[in-house]
């Protein structure tokens, strides 16, 4: 094997080795550096990495050290942020259902009750292309991140479609579900699409051929949430039957049934390392599960109403939950301790997301506002201007642009305004 080059990954922090095998095939390997800080001994870390990865030669050490220092500078950069409204888009004639960024953040997509999905230029706010062809509501949408050249849409017409994100051409129509499709996602390699439906099944599809690879049977209620792990070899599904299931993507077999909730599952997510997953429920709790054993290792309590959404930070050390009780809670994943509360909203919170660096959280609420919090629970900014419930919010990869989607039929783009760091 021969090392071709190093690639930087800022969130979560890591170095990617791109190398060529003896047969000429190009492959990559990730080195996760989740504990980087200003206190990291870079030279010692380089020696440890080279010890583990003999493909890295002695003359590459200075380059590796420089990249690690660049990662540390990025992680430790402290700047005061405020966001200002850049543009309001009357995106669709009928209400929106969702919005999502591509990895680069230069495009985002919106789905709607008008049966279309639209691709937008983030920096101009102009429509790039309208994805038309569904015969009912386009309910769930996703880019094939990190590539960003494909979009999948799931519809109440019982089909999903895969589109070219640039031309708008429909590449595949995925037919097989018997009821509405309400959740969908690409795997991290953009080879497989997963869909979840009100017909109580999830299905796996080949991106290139559109053929069904596997039908995942086992839930006794509608599947409302699904998530691939970072390796793409496992899928997590959450259902109204009060259970979640972990599936082997290659075989289509259920590995574990997670069945300790007493109410319907609302949201599911793997953390980055793949050791844990979490489930939120209308039983007012969130549970953290060990992937290998399927055992619940923490039950996170404190909300007074149903948990609507959950999100891990990029390193998997923090988990945020939001609830119909109009609050959010930040937990230490390893101890289960609630370390911060997100207070201030006047209506239920339906969506939450960490920014990629993990030091800020955005929430979307029925009080017509989105709020930006620090990871310690301080409300840093209230995003006002929507005239109806906000149901979707998202940071781009750099964390300097936000999109919010509302039942007022508009989508707003918010851009960062850098402020000088306050001197202590």
Radius of gyration from C-alpha coordinates of the chain? 21
Residues of the chain with pLDDT under 50: 421-424
DSSP-based three-state secondary structure for 60: helix
- Total domains in the fold of the chain: 2
- pLDDT recorded at residue 423: 44
Alpha helices in 138-248 (DSSP H): none
- pLDDT recorded at residue 25: 83
| pLDDT per position as a tens digit, 252-291 | 999 999 999 999 999 999 999 889 999 999 999 999 999 9
306 & 383 share domain: yes
Question: Would 174 be classed as within a structural domain?
Answer: no
Domain that holds residue 407: 81-93+260-424
Distance (Å, rounded) from C-alpha 248 to C-alpha 253? 5
Q: At what angle do helices 42-52 and 61-76 cross, to 10 degrees?
A: 120
Distance (Å, rounded) from C-alpha 335 to C-alpha 316? 12
64 & 87 share domain: no
282 & 264 share domain: yes
Q: If we measure between CA atoms, which residue out of 416, 404, 423, 363 comes closest to residue 82?
A: 416
β-strand partners of 27: 19
Instruction: Output the pTM of the full model.
Output: 0.88
Question: Would 165 be classed as within a structural domain?
Answer: no
135 Cβ contact list (under 8 Å, min separation 6) = 115, 155, 157
Query: Strand (E) positions, 229-334?
Result: 234-239, 244-248, 254-258, 265-270, 276-281, 286-290, 296-300, 307-312, 318-323, 328-332
Question: Would 330 be classed as within a structural domain?
Answer: yes
- Residue 181 vs residues 148, 157, 160, 222: alpha-carbon distances, Å: 22, 8, 7, 10
CATH of the domain at 282: 2.130.10.10
Inter-residue contact 113 to 92 (CB < 8 Å): yes
Question: Would 270 be classed as within a structural domain?
Answer: yes
103 Cβ contact list (under 8 Å, min separation 6) = 143, 145, 146, 147, 148, 397
């Amino acid at each position: 094997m021969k090392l071709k080059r190093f690639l930087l990954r800022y969130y979560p922090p890591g170095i990617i080795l791109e190398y060529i095998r003896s047969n000429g095939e190009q492959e990559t390997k990730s080195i996760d550096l989740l504990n980087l800080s200003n206190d990291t001994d870079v030279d010692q870390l380089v020696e440890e990495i080279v010890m583990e990865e003999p493909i890295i030669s002695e003359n590459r050490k200075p380059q590796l050290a420089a990249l690690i220092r660049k990662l540390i500078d990025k992680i430790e950069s402290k700047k005061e942020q405020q966001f200002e409204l850049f543009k309001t888009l009357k995106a669709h004639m009928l209400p929106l259902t969702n919005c999502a960024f591509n990895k680069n953040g230069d495009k985002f997509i919106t789905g709607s009750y008008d049966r279309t999905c639209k691709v937008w230029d983030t920096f101009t706010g102009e429509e790039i292309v309208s994805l038309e062809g569904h015969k009912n509501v386009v309910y769930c949408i996703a880019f094939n991140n990190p590539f960003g050249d494909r979009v999948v849409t799931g519809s109440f017409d019982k089909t999903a479609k895969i589109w070219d994100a640039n031309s708008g051409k429909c590449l595949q129509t995925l037919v097989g579900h018997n009821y509405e499709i309400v959740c969908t996602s690409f795997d991290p390699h953009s080879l497989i699409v997963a869909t979840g439906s009100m017909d109580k099944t999830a299905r796996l599809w080949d991106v290139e051929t559109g053929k069904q690879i596997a039908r995942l049977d086992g839930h006794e209620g509608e599947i409302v949430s699904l998530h691939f792990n970072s390796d793409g070899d496992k899928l997590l599904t959450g259902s109204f039957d009060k259970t979640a299931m972990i599936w082997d993507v290659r075989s289509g077999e259920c590995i574990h049934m997670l069945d300790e909730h007493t109410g319907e599952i609302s949201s599911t997510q793997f953390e980055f390392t793949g050791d844990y997953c979490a489930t939120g429920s209308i039983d007012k709790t969130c549970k953290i599960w060990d992937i290998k054993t399927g055992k619940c290792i923490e039950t996170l309590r404190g909300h007074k109403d149903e948990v609507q959404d959950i999100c891990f930070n990029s390193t998997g050390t923090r988990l945020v939950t939001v609830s119909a009780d109009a609050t959010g809670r930040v937990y230490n994943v390893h101890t289960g301790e609630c370390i911060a509360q997100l207070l201030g909203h006047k209506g239920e919170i339906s969506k939450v997301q960490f920014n990629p660096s993990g030091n800020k959280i955005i929430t979307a609420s029925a009080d017509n506002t989105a709020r930006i919090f620090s990871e310690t629970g301080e409300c840093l900014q209230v995003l006002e201007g929507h005239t109806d419930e906000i149901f979707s919010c998202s940071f781009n990869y750099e964390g300097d642009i936000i999109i919010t989607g509302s039942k007022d039929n508009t989508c707003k783009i918010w851009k960062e305004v850098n402020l000088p760091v306050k001197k202590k």
